Structure 1
Amino acid sequence: MDELISFDQSLFLELNSHHSPFWDTVMTLISNKYVWFPFYALLIGLFIYFYKRKGYLMVLSLAASVGLADFVSSGILKPFFGRLRPCHDQLINASVNAVDGCGGLYGFVSSHAANAFAVAVFVLLLLPKNQWIFKVLLLIWAMAISYSRIYLGVHYPGDITFGAAIGVGAAYLGMYFYQKISQKYTFWQR
């Protein structure tokens, strides 16, 4: 376990060490959850416009997936593991380039990664197979948000990896319930 933690720290320090004023601004924007509200509003609007009543169920299922990912990452795992964010860890914080502040004390797992992957994978599962370009863009979007957290100095790569896994799991769970409810109740099939 010590070797794994050491590798995670070394990889973090390497990834976090490459900075420029341009990328500092870009990564701060990418990481800002409020920047993405228009994107979320567009998704909600598209679901409802194209799928009518079923679109509302999609939105509720997506919201449940993100809520679950956020609760597990922030409400359960961060306090349970109590792993300090890199910028709070006294062993390495002198080498950390924390661009936009440090955030809360604990970082394992990344809620940004969990939530972004919950959104991306849930929508990816809804899209038809021939919409591969949108699927790729959704994954790039989730990875960019996740990477921005390392760049900004607030998460280790391990925090991101496990956060993304929680988001993927929450998305599949949300999709499972969406399919069960939409198949069982004809109200949601219109």
Structure 2
Amino acid sequence: MYFFDWLDHIDKIAFTFIHKDMSTRWLDYLMLLLRNQYTWIPLYVFMLYWTYKLDRPTGLKFICLTLLCFAITDFTSSSILKYHFERLRPCYDEDMTTVVRGIIGCGGKYSFPSSHASNHFGLATFWYFTIFHIKQQKWHWLWFWAFAICYAQVYVGKHFPFDIVGGAVLGIFTGLCMFKLFEAWVKRDYNKYLKNPSLSLP
């Protein structure tokens, strides 16, 4: 068996265990809730409020790079990589016809990498390191938030586990790049202030 065939086999075993063997009715409702974008509106409102409490230049940088991070992860995962790898979603995979429970619609045909994973791990990474840089606060719950949403994607049958891993890698890499960009942006503005103290401190 070739290495990638072996990985695919392991992935489908893990998917079956999470999606079917670990399922219960109450978890079905919880996981559907976790992956629903509207569930997290209060969180996004909180992040906007938190950003509003920052000084204006820092807050604008934070918002701009948050939006850029999401745009990059979403476009790269859904419009480039999915059509490059063309890995079928579990519900389209003939090997999974007796496994997938059909608790949610199938959606798009391709699944690697998971856009949910890339988007949420991208935001979690950028927010975590940027917030630590600004406030020296470690918001560890951001990692749990991203992981919970991604686990729900496997549980409801939208993705294989390796789809999540691939999306998470993309998201973490993008989030780190956005954080480094934030650092460089702040440093540039601060150096401009040192050269010309008449400017307002960024």
How many angstroms apart in 1 are the aligned matches of 2:200 and 2:185?
8
Structure 2 counterpart of 1:67, which letter? A
Select 1:101's aligned residue among 102, 105, 121.
105
Q: Normalising by the residue count of structure 1, what TM-score does the alignment of the two structures yield? A: 0.92
Q: Normalising by the residue count of structure 2, what TM-score does the alignment of the two structures yield? A: 0.87
How many angstroms apart in 1 are the aligned matches of 2:96 and 2:58?
49
How many angstroms apart in 2 are the aligned matches of 1:184 and 1:20?
53
* 8 A contact 1:16–1:151 mirrored in 2: yes
Structure 1 counterpart of 2:173, which letter? G
1:35 Cα offset (Å): 1.7
* 8 A contact 2:19–2:156 mirrored in 1: yes
1:128 Cα offset (Å): 2.8
5-14 vs 95-104, greater mean Cα deviation: 95-104
1:50 Cα offset (Å): 2.3
Select 2:75's aligned residue among 65, 71, 75.
71
- Percentage of matched positions with identical amino acids: 31
* 8 A contact 2:31–2:155 mirrored in 1: yes
Select 1:131's aligned residue among 128, 132, 137.
137
The two structures, once aligned, show a CA RMSD in angstroms of 1.7
1:27 Cα offset (Å): 0.5
How many angstroms apart in 2 are the aligned matches of 1:188 and 1:67?
30
Q: Are 1:145 and 2:145 counterparts? A: no
Q: Say which structure, 1 or 2, has more relative contact order (CA 8 Å, 6+ apart).
A: 1
**1:172 maps to which residue?**
176
How many angstroms apart in 1 are the aligned matches of 2:16 and 2:74?
26
116-125 vs 14-23, greater mean Cα deviation: 14-23
Judged with a 3 Å threshold, the aligned counterparts in structure 2 of structure 1 residues 188 and 8 are, in CA distance, closer, same or farther, namely: farther
Structure 1 counterpart of 2:5, which letter? D
Structure 2 counterpart of 1:79, which letter? Y
Structure 1 counterpart of 2:12, which letter? Q
* 8 A contact 1:113–1:164 mirrored in 2: yes
* 8 A contact 1:69–1:167 mirrored in 2: yes
How many angstroms apart in 2 are the aligned matches of 1:188 and 1:99?
55
* 8 A contact 1:69–1:118 mirrored in 2: yes
Q: Are 1:12 and 2:15 counterparts? A: yes
Larger radius of gyration: 2
1:97 Cα offset (Å): 2.1
1:71 Cα offset (Å): 1.0
Structure 1 counterpart of 2:56, which letter? K
Moved beyond 4 Å, runs of 4+: 186-189
* 8 A contact 1:98–1:154 mirrored in 2: no
Select 1:45's aligned residue among 46, 49, 56.
49
1:185 Cα offset (Å): 2.9
State the secondary structure of the residue aligned to 2:73.
helix
The gaps in structure 1 that reach 5 residues or longer are none
Deviations 1:19-76 (CA, angstroms, capped at 9, x unpaired): 2221111101110112212211211221121232211111111111111111111011
Q: Are 1:157 and 2:165 counterparts? A: no
The gaps in structure 2 that reach 5 residues or longer are 191-198
